[in-house]
Amino acid sequence: MERGEYGTPEKRRRRRCLIVTVVAVLLLIVIIAIVLGLTLRKNTDTFTSTFTARCEKFEGYDCEKVWGAFEEAYVGRDPCKVPPGAYDPFIAAAPLKPACNRMMFWSKTKDVVHDFTEKKDCFITVEDTLMGNVVDGLTWCGKEGSTETFTTGCPGWTDCENNTVRSFWNRVSTAFADAACGDVSAMLNGSIDTPFHPKSIFASIEMKRFHPSTVKSLNVVLVTQKSTVTNCTNASLKDLQKELAEGIKYSCKEVAETQIQECGSNPDIACGACW
């Protein structure tokens, strides 16, 4: 049998086979890298467009500037090393509009309070302001050495103290509480043992910042259900009164969740008549 320059036909066939395999594997790696890159890019783009679309619903803000200031807080950073102060430029770019006597704080009543504020223009929660609304319900973080915004694989709320999302809500809640003025409301949950929980944002951050020079009163709306386990005499609400700065009046009212829902759906009932 004739032997060519590059060995037997069998060897040449094997070599060709090997080359084809190597090229195919390389091609596959390149395709995977491109798809991965595009997916990550899409991740950032989807997050940016959600943020921007929500921002544009508010009048009088420069949404490009707001986005830039927001991104600056966490992009390229270890997602466990974003302190609340990193969001200072964002807070400055999205200033709160005055809402004395209309500010509503809450703890463990997220759905009922927002259902109410969305339907009836009586109160404003931080999630109804631009600064809270743009990322309400979202998860995001950055990564060292990357310019992307990731929406998966981010540390959870309790995974580390200074995580991207937790620091955001701490910072935004601080700003919202600092702006509190006049008669302030708080919707707390009457179906749990500790409606005023010391570890909650409301107890640990917001209430501590109410100042008698600007806040006249704190009016607790304790949301009750059939399964209600507590009322306004609850021990944690006694703690709340002790912690409330001197000079700020306090009231507490037990209100059935159904009453809040009905009032929210009835445009004929005035704000002051809901409870």
Confirm or reject binding of residue 208 to ligand APR (CB under 6 A): no
- In whole angstroms, the minimum distance from the beta carbon of 194 to ligand APR comes to 11
- Farthest-apart Cα atoms in the chain, separation: 107
Confirm or reject binding of residue 171 to ligand APR (CB under 6 A): no
Residue 44 or residue 167: which is nearer to ligand APR going by CB? 167
- Minimal CA–CA distance to 183: which of 271, 272, 103, 98? 103
- In whole angstroms, the minimum distance from the beta carbon of 73 to ligand APR comes to 17
- In whole angstroms, the minimum distance from the beta carbon of 155 to ligand APR comes to 11
Confirm or reject binding of residue 74 to ligand APR (CB under 6 A): no
- Which residue among 201, 215, 218, 220 contacts ligand APR (CB under 6 A)? 201
- Which residue among 71, 128, 206, 257 contacts ligand APR (CB under 6 A)? 206
Confirm or reject binding of residue 138 to ligand APR (CB under 6 A): no
- The two tokens of residue 141 are 């973080």
Confirm or reject binding of residue 202 to ligand APR (CB under 6 A): yes
User: How many other β-carbons are positioned within 10 Å of the β-carbon of residue 217?
Assistant: 16
- Which residue among 169, 185, 215, 255 contacts ligand APR (CB under 6 A)? 169
Confirm or reject binding of residue 102 to ligand APR (CB under 6 A): no
Confirm or reject binding of residue 106 to ligand APR (CB under 6 A): yes
- Minimal CA–CA distance to 56: which of 4, 121, 134? 134
Confirm or reject binding of residue 274 to ligand APR (CB under 6 A): no
- In whole angstroms, the minimum distance from the beta carbon of 195 to ligand APR comes to 10
Confirm or reject binding of residue 157 to ligand APR (CB under 6 A): yes
Please report, as ranges, the residues that interact with ligand APR according to CB under 6 A.
105-108, 110, 125-126, 157-158, 169, 173, 176, 200-202, 206
